[in-house]
Structure 1
Amino acid sequence: MKTKLISVAALLLGSVMSFQSLATPETDFDAYIQGLKQEAKEKGISDSTINAAFKNVTFKPKAVAADNNQPEKKLTLDEYIPRAVPKWKVKQAKRLYHEHFDELKRIGEAYGVQPRFIVALWGVESNFGKFTGNYSVIEALSTLAFDGRREALFRKQTMAALQIIDEGHISADDMKGSWAGAMGQCQFMPTSFLHYAADGNGDGKKDIWTTTEDVFASTANYLKTEGWDDKYTWGRQIRVPQGIDPELQGREEDKGKYLQEWSKLGITSLDGSPLPKLEEDIKAWLVMPDDEIGRSYLVYNNYNVLMHWNRSYYFAIAVSTLADSIAED
């Protein structure tokens, strides 16, 4: 009897193990894709788009690894800026600014955005269109949604990407981007494309992958929509007095002060000269990304707009630094 019980238990265990061997990430992913297809259909995406977009889609572990990989060492601004804005990139930015000046000027005037900031974002985001990513956007987004860490975000982006294909802006095969689904030369996420992509050359298309005028117009449209004001720049690097109250720094609305108020608190230009007295004083915020040991800035609302684009102080300062370098020419 004991032998028979052992045999039955072994048989049951073998059946369970056999069943579990069939439940792989790949089979689970296939089932998840069926759910995405059903959701897309319910949202009005055409069958032809759904079939084309999910044709041969597979789980991409590299996208999940990239999403989970956080750098262990945090660079200071003094270390980061020379890497993000090296001399060769400044030289290239100036050359491209002059090469595309006519269309940049036209688009800048139409949207009320200084062209140097359009070029700077282009340079920092994709090295002027050279590094846009080679992942299938649908594949990357589906993988990250399935992974589950930020499922709601990436599921929403997947549906937006399908809408872009369905509207005819780009084919499923040509929709390439980063591991996170950022697309084109301005690295828009699909929802950003739907909100801000613009036709810059009047051909009726919104092509942020290969048409520079559309890249420029889409970038300018984003900035203007989020509150950019071309009467002002982004801010300035400054010198703060020793022992300044650290609670003064931050971008919260109630921490903004006019330049002359900051001047009374002992803040000066970087070279020690007084802050400028403008005909119309401007509100600014004290930003010290590396606390009192690093660089300090007074930033204007245009800097806050750059922070909408990418919520990184370092990113916004890199874009601003490159824009200022173009203006020096």
Structure 2
Amino acid sequence: MLARRTILGGVAALAAAPAFIPHAQAQGGFDAFLEGVRAEARRGGVSAGTLQRAFTGLRPNQRVIELDRRQAEGFLTWEEYRDRIMVNPTRVQNGQRNYAEYRSLLQAIEGRFRVSPRVIVAIWGVETNFGGNTGGFGVMEALATLAWEGRRAEFFRKELLAALRVLDGGHVSPARMTGSWAGAMGQPQFMPTNFERMAVDFDGDGRRDIWDSRADALASIAHYFQKSGWREGEPWGRAVRPPAGFNIDAADTGGKRSLRDWNRLGFRAEDGGPLPASELEAALVLPNRGSGQVFLGHHNLRVIRRYNSPVNYGLAVGLLSDRFG
């Protein structure tokens, strides 16, 4: 899903700061850029009225540029990221409460998309704190700033044009179209192109409202996982105890073996018991910046990482999902 990585993982979004571009000609260049986008969007069928609503008063936001250039990923150890950010007691408790409160909705979503409600709730929790923190930036302002600024201009221009199509479809108003500084939107934190491909109208009101409709938001997460290849009924993975003499620095993380074979090699469940006598394939997975914890990951862990690619994210979502249901 990515280039979204900057805004995912449950880190609180920052409120948008007042725009400040330290170049006298910046706004003139920005206005010219918007005219180019306007012309391209009109050729793509976006209405003049939508463009007027979206672009009136739009200015580049220096804070967005600063955040894009100062992505602070990778500084936490695996254990800090796991215990402080992702699988902390508050998030677990809130997830259990939400899982119970929306059990009927989650069961209906599972019936349609065949995706585990536990992973849906885990994604919902780490992305936006169960819908409580969807970001305080105007998506149009953020995407236009990043597309104009140029470091990843092509990517963000495509997202800006997609966001205009979302507006033109009547799914959300420009004022309500808020999200992260990188343009990820709503409770699932979808980029606009992902919205176009994956957002669904689960409540049947004619709009794909991932901002204010919990049914649409959670079903859209499930749809993303379904399209990414989620295998119903299979686990994502598990923490394991490696055998004596295991050299973590020389570990082969590319090969797959059945759980039965991993057990024969001396790997055990985290509590010391045997692994299941199963032919389900798994590969060794090692957290980045970890202190020795080892996992066996199945196909569904790879699916989680298609939502957001860092290995620590995938492992933490898996661990969190195990605490629900």
**Contact in 1 for aligned 2:121/2:321 (Cα 8 Å):** yes
Deviations 1:40-79 (A, max 9, x none): 1122211111111111110101011111113276212211
2:37 aligns with 36
**Length-normalised TM-score, structure 1:** 0.87
CA distance in 2, matches of 1:71, 1:196: 28
The size of the alignment, in residue pairs, is 302
CA distance in 2, matches of 1:247, 1:50: 55
**Contact in 1 for aligned 2:139/2:177 (Cα 8 Å):** yes
Note the residue ranges of structure 1 that are not aligned, 5 or more in a row.
1-20
CA distance in 2, matches of 1:249, 1:186: 34
CA distance in 2, matches of 1:204, 1:232: 33
- State the Cα distance separating 1:23 from its structure 2 match: 5.3
In the alignment, structure 1 residue 193 sits paired with structure 2 residue 191: no
TM-aligned CA distance change 1:72 to 1:232, over 3 Å = closer
Deviations 1:115-173 (A, max 9, x none): 11111111000001111012111110010111111111101100110111111111222
CA distance in 2, matches of 1:291, 1:264: 28
Within a 5 Å distance, the mapping from 1:87-106 to structure 2 comes to 87-106=89-108
CA distance in 2, matches of 1:22, 1:271: 60
**Contact in 2 for aligned 1:249/1:288 (Cα 8 Å):** no
Secondary structure of the residue aligned to 1:325 is coil
The one-letter code matched in structure 2 to 1:282 is: L
Return the structure number with greater relative CO, CA threshold 8 A, min gap 6: 2
**Contact in 2 for aligned 1:77/1:295 (Cα 8 Å):** no
TM-aligned CA distance change 1:312 to 1:22, over 3 Å = closer
1:12 aligns with none
The one-letter code matched in structure 2 to 1:308 is: R
In the alignment, structure 1 residue 178 sits paired with structure 2 residue 180: yes
CA distance in 2, matches of 1:292, 1:141: 34
TM-aligned CA distance change 1:267 to 1:22, over 3 Å = closer
CA distance in 1, matches of 2:277, 2:261: 11
Note the residue ranges of structure 2 that are not aligned, 5 or more in a row.
1-21
1:140 aligns with 142
2:263 aligns with 263
TM-aligned CA distance change 1:201 to 1:72, over 3 Å = closer
TM-aligned CA distance change 1:245 to 1:136, over 3 Å = closer
Structure richer in helix, relative to its length: 1
CA distance in 2, matches of 1:305, 1:213: 22
**Contact in 1 for aligned 2:78/2:290 (Cα 8 Å):** no
**Contact in 2 for aligned 1:135/1:178 (Cα 8 Å):** yes
CA distance in 2, matches of 1:185, 1:324: 21
The one-letter code matched in structure 2 to 1:224 is: Q
Match of 2:315 among 302, 314, 317: 317
TM-aligned CA distance change 1:315 to 1:72, over 3 Å = closer
RMSD: 1.9
Using the aligned pairs only, state the percent identity.
Answer: 40
The one-letter code matched in structure 1 to 2:147 is: A
- State the Cα distance separating 1:88 from its structure 2 match: 1.2
- Specify the structure having the higher radius of gyration (Cα): 1
The one-letter code matched in structure 1 to 2:128 is: S
CA distance in 2, matches of 1:247, 1:41: 55
- State the Cα distance separating 1:26 from its structure 2 match: 1.9
CA distance in 2, matches of 1:22, 1:274: 64
TM-aligned CA distance change 1:320 to 1:245, over 3 Å = closer
1:18 aligns with none
2:296 aligns with 298
The one-letter code matched in structure 1 to 2:246 is: G
Deviations 1:203-236 (A, max 9, x none): 2221100010111110110001100012112100
- State the Cα distance separating 1:292 from its structure 2 match: 7.5
2:275 aligns with 275
TM-aligned CA distance change 1:223 to 1:312, over 3 Å = same
